[in-house]
Structure 1
Amino acid sequence: MSGEREHTQSLSDESRPGLRADCERCFGLCCVVPAFTVSADFAIDKPAGRACPNLASDFRCGIHTRLRQRGFTGCTVYDCFGAGQQVSQVTFGGRDWRQAPQTAKRMFEVFPIMRNLHELLWYLTEALAMPAAGPLHAELARARTELERLTGGDPGTLAEVDVSAHRQQVNALLLRASELVRAPVRRKKTELRGADLIGAKLKGADLRGACLRGAYLIGADLRGADLRLADLTGADLRGADLRGARLAESLFLTRSQLDAAGGDAATELPPSLTRPAHWTSPGAPAGSPPARARARRRR
């Protein structure tokens, strides 16, 4: 297929200021706010709002370089889209929850709201970089401006934000943008929104222009699959084998999706995304047997 590049335009992290996690400016919120449950993703149980025992006094992870080996794969695939530093440095003005414990309850309440808003901002920014979505750029820009306004609110205002309503509005816009970009190659047979493709054998599959929004691709064999202009919004790629897959022009592909999957040096990626450190070299098996077994158990 020719002409994909004229429909999409990859962004670098520098063009998305504030939408990439900066752990040095965060108070370890992703290590405190969520609950952990012992599983293949987490080695311990941890209730919501309690600091992980691996969180150091400087709010850095004490086992950051060994998370996978220590059983914390779930931590390695998490992305706050910059919400952590926004809440820590802007919403709460640099007052951390240890030195100012009175801020903890509201800070922990606001963080997931901010994370959702930043995720939506990331997707809107991606859509605005797609020339083929030009007819929607004005609407996309207005939606982004409104969300940016909300992220600058005080803790009380943020706590009242109806995230579901904003997500519904933005998702409708993103779907329309996706349809415009995928129009040249969109086919009925590849409308796979929300499809159960867990463990699917899709080696070498032609998935150009496919709608895979929210699809369950856990443990799927996507070796050498052509995913140019495929919409991967929210697709679950845990344990998926992406060796040699063509993802350079895929729509709405996130860093955390790649971190959750397996790939190699032959996997084609957008210039804005780096190859995860745990990916294999060409010819080596992608993912571990436990990852594939875990995918089957989650059916």
Structure 2
Amino acid sequence: MKFKVLFIFLLLPIFTLAQIPYEKAEQLIEKKQFKSAVNLLLPYVDEDSEDIKAIELLGDAYGHQKKWDEAIEQYKKLATLKPSSANYHYKYGGALGMKALSISKFKAVGIIGDVKREFLKAAELDPKHIDARWALVELYMSLPGIVGGSKSKSLKYANELEALSKVDGYLAKGYIYEYDDEPEKAEAYYKKAIQVGGSINCYEKLINLYESEKKPDDAISTLVEAEQKHQRNALHYQIGKVSADYGVQLDRGEKCLLVYLKNHSAADGVPKEWAYYRLAQIYQHKKNKDKALQYIDKALELKHDFKQAKSTKSEILAL
């Protein structure tokens, strides 16, 4: 009997360790408790160097913390353990790419070849892997020609994206032409993406293009269309922001900011003090000193160290 009890006792750590809490780790990552997820997963990965799921979750937890060297180590394991997985090569290439962006350009040159190799491998292994093709579109456009950059190769993968997903293909081509300083072509493709997909992301690409091209009225028109379709309060703030930044459609901007404040919730993303700040800017454009001061003071009540508001208040006082 004692021998049987001892045998069970000796096996208990093995059985306990085998019950890896994948679900708990996923929950921690979802809650952005990345350090806790790492602490939970490390003992299991150290114990079993071939546990694919635990290694991937650990890599994800490191990646969310921008600990690229640690993420690279885990994703490299995955690509080695399961070389036929397109997604593991994609994640490995992505972590390498993020590290390249975080170091000097001189040092990054030594990594670029590995980044490209992993993304190409992912695209080869999975002809329908959209993310890998997006990565190649962006990589070939952002690289200088001397280290392998190529607009034609970028367009090649944009065409492959279009064959898989019209929306992604149009957005990719919009990105390419915007990057290459051809705003008219970029606009045309972003509009096609809106027609086919119409997601918030599609609208944002076109809005950002209009803002970068100093076309605030077009940006506001697109924002209004997006708000009517998606009914998102955050878009009211964006309309007010463009109005305040460029001094256009001031009445519309004011109205939208007041609606934003009335319906504000944490889900909207932008704190209320920024809406008050934009209202102050609008009244500054209108040369209404009293109203501008009223709203800038509300912004400062909510955030005492609001640098932009303090600077703008000085400008308002000088009106």
Higher relative contact order (CA 8 A, sep 6+): 1
TM range (shorter): under 0.3
Q: TM-score, normalized by length of structure 1?
A: 0.26
Larger helix fraction of residues: 2
Computing the radius of gyration from Cα coordinates, the structure with the larger value is 2
